[in-house]
A and B are shown apart, each in its own frame.
Chain A
Amino acid sequence: MQRKTFLRAMIASAALAAMPLATWAQDTIKIGEINHYKRLAAFAGPYKQGIELALEETNAAGGVLGKPLEFIFRDDQGEPGEAVKIAEELMTRDGAVMLTGTILSNVGLAISSFAGEKGYVYLASEPLADSLVWGAGNKYTFRLRSSTFMQAAMLAEAAAKTDAKRFATIAPNYAYGKDAVAAFKENLLKLKPDAEFVAEQWPALFKIDAGAEVQALERAKPDAIYNVTFGPDLAKFVRDGTDRGLFEGRDVYGLLSGEPEYLDPLGDEAPEGWTVTGFPWYDLSDGPAGEFVAAYQARYDDYPRLGSIVGYMTVQSIVAALEKAGSTETEAIREAFEGLQVASAMGGIEFRAIDNQSTMGAYVGTTALQDGKGVMINWEYKDGANYLPTDEEVLKLRPAE
């Protein structure tokens, strides 16, 4: 009796899965997009809008290879295993020609491993993990966004220019946080060999005990603090740190802290004088970036976040690759991505043939308060190409192909 129910459920779901879904749209080129739309909606939403804006523009201009470009968006629920299943579905049932997306590094790594094994092209748009193109890299996986290492190197460069000797770090206790601290240390010590790391704090991700962390940092009496916390952790850290005077007279470097995604929720309590990587859209009026910001604001009646421009550039990169490939065959797309030059919203970038990492850069500047809101001032766009390890080192990091 019960076994029957089990089988029925099993067959029913199998039958449903076997049904073709999107047969009506045969004549488009489909890209499978997997992201964490639900639990990280604040990040995935603007990203998706960026993609849709670029898609509209592309298709209005005649599409790619004579066909409209279409994205199929799927939610990974933050589960790597789930994402792998969806990736399979997108490629084999929905007729996607390649995969892109993800914000969570672990999901990106799972899809990357899967793509490498099955021979699907995967453009990791947002995940930051260094290992994605290095330790766990494979020839089918490309990454758009400037990685943890690159952004940490930019901040290390800024930190090396000051007199600060005693550094303290605070980073969420997981791979991204650890990578970010390690990269900062590595780059800083290269530029400033006498720098000292006097405290390393590792709050659990999104469970920071801000008061205790601030006390512990204060106790180490550092000259400068390197912050990797973000989201609600950052809000609590900034609030407690400001109250307790932790930031007074100290240089603070904040990885990603200048991105509107993280800076805006802080409102008028946004920290002032931090050196951060971020996205100063409010100052962008010229060049491709300016055009993007204007188009985005016209289209959505909202301002772009960093995710928006990453989404936009994802489409730009895929379009460029497809055009260069002249085909939607996997191998052709993969070869097209190698060394691909893209005239993107952040200017010219290249997907390096050596490690499949794009040279997308980041904006580095100082935080300030304007009209009760945190902004970046004195910012500068840093080209990612200048913040990557030497080719020799990269080759050592990447597994042999």
Chain B
Amino acid sequence: MSVVLETKGLTKAFGGLVAVDDVSFQLQKGELLALIGPNGAGKSTCFNMLMGQLPPTSGEVFLGGERINGLSPRQIWRRGVGRTFQITATYSSMTVIENVQMALLSHHGDVFKFLPFAHKLYREEAMALLDMVGMAEQADRHCAVLAYGDLKRMELSIALAHDPQLLLMDEPTAGMAPKERVALMELTARIVEDRGVSVLFTEHDMDVVFAHSHRIMVLNRGALIAEGDASEIRNSPLVQEVYLGGGTLFDAEEDAHA
């Protein structure tokens, strides 16, 4: 198996506060890797560094062996990294399919074209992507009227528009009903399998994490404290202490977005 994403000693300090502390991990091709941890553990900061939104204080990020830290989000995206947001970020004035077409336009380098009609470009490709996430029937609806779960699926199809090798998903199921969560993660798992894409995701919902991830990393106070498959993590005393003894309960996490 080849390594898609690798970090070495990734560290971010805000003044005296070290949000992410010497995090090193590898993500293999076709792997669905979960990054979990209590609130404030540094998951989002970590994510933002991977996507180029924040420069690391020290450490390095490699994508397919190439160093990518220091690159802008746009450049990282161009190298085949897609992402979804914790709170959906969509173009609310467009239809569902236009949202996807927009990503395709960018991918094909057509953003600065003035002549063609945008809605006619890459429609079939976009439709195929929507079909993959089960949104084809809703393609021409105004995205502002969609249910939240549908928006999440639409966002997933946007993230897949440039056929990325790596997908970063920041709490993909946040704000969704339990049933929808399972459906979305099943969809994601299927896509990982079908397209050979690798996924790194953060998640609060432990059911989702244990059911779908191939491997789990636990972050606490900025540092990786455990890594392994579902049963290893479940049985890790360190993790139990963080979650059960440290005051931040699995259940409490649930409440946060119930």
Chains A and B in contact, CB within 8 Å: no
Residues of chain A whose beta carbon lies under 8 Å from any beta carbon of chain B = none
Residues of chain B whose beta carbon lies under 8 Å from any beta carbon of chain A = none
